[in-house]
């Protein structure tokens, strides 16, 4: 499994801390930017980089995107067919979203999520498995037909 991660300027610090943490846990992670603080960068650019990477191999790739509110990145990511991005705000919600809604991209809000919470949400996202019951697969199929 590979985790692709990106953030705009508001999520840059949290992204870098998460990358360091994932490296310590020997989880393969690829940084798709931002690489330096630039108040003029635009979150849609980073969401697109992650979604394009995840769509190359949706069975083995996951994405994490970070901006100030998490909302802009979520909107941008969900414009790509085959991407199911959820804004993570607590552990139970992320687990439910990964298992039942098959999210393949997690969006985090750097303005509202501290590092410790972000690590927990990231771990739950990575290690929870989507449920394969017919009703969940049927719903995903419907989403992919839009």
Any alpha helices (H) in 1-146, and if so which ranges?
12-24, 43-56, 71-77, 91-100, 115-127, 134-144
| 57 exposure class (CB count in 10 Å sphere: 0-12, 13-18, 19+) | exposed
Active-site annotation holder among 64, 66, 67, 97: 67
Query: b or e along 95-134 (b: 16 or more beta carbons within 10 Å of the residue's beta carbon)?
Result: bebbbbbbbbbbbbbbeebeeeebbebbbbbbebebeeee
67 is catalytic: yes
Q: Tokens 């690489």: give the residue.
A: 35
Rounded Cα distance between 68 and 7, Å, is 9
Among all residues, which ones are annotated catalytic? 67
């Amino acid at each position: 499994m590979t985790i692709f991660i990106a953030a705009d300027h508001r999520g840059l610090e949290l992204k870098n801390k998460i990358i360091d943490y994932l490296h310590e846990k020997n989880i393969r992670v690829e940084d798709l930017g931002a690489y330096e603080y630039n108040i003029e960068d635009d979150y849609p650019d980073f969401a697109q980089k992650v979604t394009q990477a995840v769509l190359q191999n949706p069975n083995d790739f996951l994405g994490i995107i970070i901006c100030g509110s998490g909302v802009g990145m979520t909107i941008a990511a969900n414009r790509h067919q085959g991407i199911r991005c959820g804004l993570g705000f607590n552990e139970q919600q992320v687990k439910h979203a990964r298992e039942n809604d098959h999210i393949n991209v997690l969006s985090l809000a750097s303005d509202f999520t501290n590092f410790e919470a972000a690590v927990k949400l990231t771990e739950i996202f990575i290690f929870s498995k989507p449920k394969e019951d017919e009703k969940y697969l049927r719903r995903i199929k419907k989403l992919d037909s839009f």
